[in-house]
Amino acid sequence: MVAGLDQYGVFGNPIGHSKSPLIHRLFAEQTGQTMSYEALLAPLDGFADFARDFFARGGRGANVTVPFKEQAFALVNQLSERAERAGAVNTLCRHADGKLLGDNTDGVGLVRDLTVNAGWSLADQRILLLGAGGAVRGVLQPLLAHKPRELVIANRTLSKAETLAQHFADLGPVLASEFAWLQQPFDLIINGTSASLAGELPPLPAAVIKPGHTRCYDMMYSAEPTAFNRWASDLGAAACMDGLGMLVEQAAEAFLLWRGVRPDSAPVLAELRAQLA
Ligand code: ATR
């Protein structure tokens, strides 16, 4: 920790390649905030003690990444509604009274990237969401808040998609599906599976893409287009985006929560994109 500065950090394991310290340093410079932000390797078998110790020593806030988001959910004194729905916490904030608030900014980060950065509307759209793990659960509430006409969750293991659809059914028209059942085009397809990590593709029928119309978003990012975005683009998707903007926007939401200032994400996203190349 750096003496005299407000302390922030990101807890993860592994954490070496995290882009969060760079993003928050750029946000702090841009907004004139005096703070420190470090990547912190939390032990796999002692996350709660590690996090408590960070805040006991004066830490003001932290991001939480793989594999600790569910443990952070269990740690806090108070949850935002979106974190409660997500079942996971990616942002911790210590109040003046010492209480820990848990928030989840992943979904709102995705929605800002889709609507503000890309200018895509979600209202009244037919949206297909691929996957039913933590990444998808984390974004469902903010997506449904934008009133899509229909949101279909498709997953390799159907039962997981069904469980999620039931859990969010009170928030909007959300359905579960197998990949093979999908025979109609969607307006927007969001890949929230981890398949791209292994260079793999969810086994989607080509009929989900209407050439020149369907827009695609992969929550993963890489220097080269992801396997999913290459597949969509080859089928004539109108536009394809990766998840680098979501990463920057979820960080901007956390920064806003901690510092009360919304940074301009555009130059930070441009800098990260340049570094990826
Ligand atoms: P995360 O926290 O990133 O969401 P996760 O909870 O392990 O990680 O979920 C991974 C998701 O990617 C799951 O929906 C998984 O499908 P299953 O529920 O059937 O396991 C999906 N997934 C991973 N590899 C995939 C592949 N090659 N094809 C299709 N789906 C895949």
**CA-198 nearest atom, ligand 1:** 27
For residues 188 and 250, what is the distance between their CA atoms, to the nearest angstrom? Answer: 20
Assembly ipTM: 0.97
The pLDDT confidence band at residue 2, using thresholds 50, 70 and 90, is low
Q: Is the CB of 67 under 6 A from ligand 1?
A: no
Mean pLDDT calculated for residue range 181-209: 94
For residues 149 and 238, what is the distance between their CA atoms, to the nearest angstrom? Answer: 20
Best of 71, 163, 193 for a ligand 1 pocket test (most atoms within 8 Å of beta carbon): 193
Ligand 1 atom 7: the closest Cα is on which residue? Answer: 133
Structure confidence at residue 4 (pLDDT): 76
CATH class of 107-242: alpha beta
Q: Is the pLDDT of residue 137 over 70?
A: yes
CA–centroid distance, residue 111 to ligand 1 (Å)? 21
Structure confidence at residue 196 (pLDDT): 81
Parse the chain into domains and list their residue ranges: 6-104+245-276, 107-242
Q: Is the CB of 157 under 6 A from ligand 1?
A: yes
Q: Is the CB of 193 under 6 A from ligand 1?
A: yes
The predicted-structure confidence for 244-274, as pLDDT tens digits, reads as follows: 999 999 999 999 999 999 999 999 999 999 9
Q: Is the pLDDT of residue 1 over 70?
A: no
User: Quick check: do 6-104+245-276 and 107-242 share a fold?
Assistant: yes
CA–centroid distance, residue 90 to ligand 1 (Å)? 19
Q: Under a CB-based contact definition with an 8 Å cutoff, are residues 194 and 133 in contact?
A: yes
Structure confidence at residue 3 (pLDDT): 65
**CA-194 nearest atom, ligand 1:** 12
Q: Which residues are known to be catalytic?
A: 69
Closest CA to 254 of 140, 97, 71, 107: 107
**CA-136 nearest atom, ligand 1:** 4
For residues 91 and 103, what is the distance between their CA atoms, to the nearest angstrom? Answer: 5
CA–centroid distance, residue 21 to ligand 1 (Å)? 27
Q: Is the CB of 160 under 6 A from ligand 1?
A: yes
Q: Is the CB of 161 under 6 A from ligand 1?
A: no
CA–centroid distance, residue 166 to ligand 1 (Å)? 19
Fold for 6-104+245-276, please state it: Rossmann fold (3.40.50)
Ligand 1 atom 26: the closest Cα is on which residue? Answer: 195
Q: Under a CB-based contact definition with an 8 Å cutoff, are residues 237 and 215 in contact?
A: yes
CA–centroid distance, residue 196 to ligand 1 (Å)? 10
The predicted-structure confidence for 59-85, as pLDDT tens digits, reads as follows: 999 999 999 999 999 999 999 999 999
